[in-house]
Amino acid sequence: MHILVVGANGQIGKHLVKQIQENGDQARALIRKEEQADYFKELGAEVAIVNLEDEVEAIAKAAEGVDAVVFTAGSGGNTGKDKTLMIDLDGAVKTIQAAEKNNIKRFIMISSFDTSREAIQAAPESFAPYVVAKHYADEWLLNTDLDYTIIHPGMLTNDPGTNQVKLGAKVARGEVPREDVAKVIYTSLNNDSTIGKRFQVVGGQTPVEEAIQSVK
């Protein structure tokens, strides 16, 4: 499988590209800066340098010839509301449109743990714009004909992956290693039962492959 990883230089993205390459598939890492490329080239991944604030056509060109797209980009915690809007919402929508332009059906979105209207109302003022952006990016994807999966991870950590998670439509809030989120993404790509599904994921005691097979 040939997979475009959008936001590849993020921590989840790096884990995902590594897992793709180690399992015999081919990743194309979409990154923003040339100086970020060496890590991915050393893994044998392809590299596409595109700013998500560019037009849809630039992202579409980077997506040519792939079988699936994973959106794991984010503006980061140190940016303002403007970047949250431009990356987490507009960048996500443009990536969806780029997939559609290339007739790429498979699309995985990494969202926030809870993007419901209730979560927006409950979010602290500083965090609410991020939840809003993720809410509407999710809604846009849900209203396409793409073979989507939306993954809602819990509080992300840099702990080593355990290959064990708990996932479901609704689970209690908790932490989850970024490495395990990457494994959930990769396993979802290889399991059609996750198409048209959205689920939350936190650390747990169920092996990732088994947890993914239980998705309903």
Half-sphere exposure of 71 (CA within 13 A, CB side): 33
What is d(CA 198, CA 216) in angstroms, rounded to the nearest whole number? 9
| Catalytic site positions | 130
Q: Using alpha carbons, select from 114, 130, 110 the residue that is nearest to residue 183.
A: 110
CB contact at 8 A, 95 and 46: no
Residue 198 is given by DSSP the state E
What is d(CA 183, CA 53) in angstroms, rounded to the nearest whole number? 28
Sign of CA dihedral 185, 95, 7, 86: negative
40's enclosing H/E stretch is helix 37-43
CB contact at 8 A, 153 and 110: yes
What is d(CA 56, CA 85) in angstroms, rounded to the nearest whole number? 16
